[in-house]
């Protein structure tokens, strides 16, 4: 089967996010021994289907899902997301390709802290004709890796036993479910 069959499975029209069935999460190795995982509570995305599908979205950086106040404050500070100056993370696709088997190649511009870089992701695409509520749904599940230093997220600390507190590579996992835009 050809992987060049473009987007036969992305229906035409505009699709809006179903936030209840969607999530944006990340993981980063902490202290060299385990992966710390978290996500964001407030985000939005839309998908335009057809011959040239386009995914756009944004995340409210201050909605990071961290309960510990001091830790969250550090992540919102200028040492990390600098939410006072840069309240949103943004993404806009430049290419979204779905092959005959539902595998996705997604490329686009990711903006964090006012710095924009090309990001490539892979994953899968799914579609259901009608859910329990009778509405059609489509899903997009993708993973990407970024070097956080490219976006100005440079903070780190030396550990007393050697090594660094945080790795620079961050894994991003995005699970999005869409419904047709209300007419």
- List pLDDT tens digits, range 120-175: 999 999 988 878 888 899 999 999 999 999 999 999 999 999 999 999 999 999 99
Q: How far is CA 15 from CA 18, 52, 131, 182, in A?
A: 9, 14, 15, 9
Note the pTM of the prediction, 2 decimals: 0.90
- List pLDDT tens digits, range 49-70: 988 999 999 999 999 999 999 9
Task: Please spell the DSSP secondary structure of 151-179, one letter per residue.
Answer: GT-----B-TTSSBSEEEEEEEEEEEEEE
User: 113, 130 in Cβ contact below 8 A?
Assistant: no
Name beta bridge partners: 57. 45, 91
């Amino acid at each position: 089967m050809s992987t060049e069959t473009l987007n036969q499975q992305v229906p035409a029209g505009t699709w809006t996010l179903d936030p209840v069935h969607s999530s944006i999460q990340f993981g980063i190795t902490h202290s060299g021994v385990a992966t710390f995982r978290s996500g964001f509570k407030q985000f939005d995305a839309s998908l335009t289907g057809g011959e040239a599908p386009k995914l756009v979205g944004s995340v409210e950086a201050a909605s990071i899902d961290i309960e510990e106040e001091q830790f969250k404050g550090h992540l919102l500070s200028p040492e990390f997301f600098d939410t006072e100056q840069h309240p949103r993370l943004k993404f806009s696709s430049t290419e979204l390709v779905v092959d005959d088997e539902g595998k996705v190649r997604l490329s686009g511009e990711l903006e964090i802290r006012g710095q924009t870089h090309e990001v490539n992701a892979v994953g899968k695409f799914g579609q259901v004709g009608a859910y329990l509520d009778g509405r059609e749904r489509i899903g997009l599940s993708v993973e990407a890796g970024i070097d956080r230093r490219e976006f100005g997220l440079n903070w780190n600390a030396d550990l007393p036993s050697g090594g660094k507190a945080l790795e620079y590579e961050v894994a991003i996992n995005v699970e999005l479910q869409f419904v047709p835009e209300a007419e």
